[in-house]
Amino acid sequence: MSPFLDVQNISFSYPGRNVFDEVSFEAHEGEFIALMGCNGAGKSTLMDTIVRLRDPSRGCVLLQGIPLANLSFDQLSHLVSHLPQSVRADLPYSVEQLVLMGRYPHRTSWFESAEDFEVAKAAMQRTECWDHRGRRFSTLSGGERQRVLLAACLAQQARLLLWDEPSVFLDIDQQLACFQLLKEEAASGKLCIAVTHDVNLALAYCSRFIILADHRLAVDISASEAVTRTGWLDVLSSKLQLMLGPGGKPRVWYQ
C-alpha cells in the first residue's frame, strides 16, 4: 500500500543554524505517531514543512504521492489539519465562530450550511467545549482554549492530523481524552501525528514513535517494539527507565 505521507530526505536550516538533515519516513492512514525529541530538535519545524508553512532546504514531502508544491492550498486544506504549538489568546471570536473556521475548506457559499453547524457541534461535544460555544475565545482558560482549537481541527475533517503538543494546558483527564480522541481518529482511517514530551501517553495510545536528535531522525520504532527495545529512551534522557506497571502495562519511570 502506498504511503499517505512520504517524507523524502528533507533538510532544514536557518542562517547559521542547521535544524535537521535528510529526514525520511513514510506514514500510512490508520497510524498514530508520536513525534518526540528534546527542545530544539526540530519537531515543530518538521511539522511546518509537512503542512507547507516552511520549505525544506533540500528534499521533498509528498501527500498521496503528490509533491506539496504541486498541491494548491485548497487541496492541502482538505488533506491536512494542523494545530500549531501556540495560538494567540486574544482572538476576537466566539468559540463557535472559531470552530466553524475549521469548515472553511468545505464551504460552497458565503454562509455556513446546516452540515457545517452539525459537524462543528459534534467536534465541540467531543472535546467538551460545547457549553462554551457562546463565549469569547479570549475569556477562556488555557485548557479551555486548547479544547476549542482541537475542536476546530476536528471540524476540518482532514485525513492527516498534525497536532503540536495537543495536550498542553490540559488537566490529566483531558490529556487522556485528547490522546484517546486521536487514537479513535487513527482507528477510523486517518493518519495522526502528535508532538509530545509525555512518553507514558505515547506508550498508552500511539502506534509508533519517531524521535529527532542530533539533527537527524534518530529513532523510528513501533510502540510494541519500544517495550522490549528500550534504547530509544536514552535518546530522550539518561534518567528514564521502562518497567511494567499494574496489569503488565509498560510505564516509564524517572530515576
Which domain CATH number covers 192? 3.40.50.300
Structurally, how many domains does the chain consist of? Answer: 1
Judge whether 32 lies within some domain. Answer: yes
The verdict on residue 118 lying in a domain is no
99-123 pLDDT, tens digit each: 999 999 998 778 889 999 999 999 9
Q: Is 149 a domain residue? A: no
Q: Is residue 93 in a domain?
A: no
**Euclidean distance between CA atoms 74 and 157, whole angstroms:** 14
User: pTM (2 decimals)?
Assistant: 0.95
What is the domain extent for residue 230? 5-87+158-254
* Confidence band for 158, pLDDT divided at 50, 70 and 90: very high
Residue 238 lies in a domain: yes
- DSSP string of 200-253, one letter each residue: HHHHHH-SEEEEEETTEEEEEEEHHHHHH-TTHHHHH-TTEEEEE-GGG-EEEE
In tens, the pLDDT along 179-203 reads 999 999 999 999 999 999 999 999 9
Does any domain span residue 58? yes
The helix, strand and coil proportions of the chain, stated in percent and rounded to the nearest 5, come to 40, 30, 30
Residue 47 domain-assigned (yes or no) = yes
Establish if 119 belongs to a structural domain.
no
Residue whose cell numbers read 514531502: 61
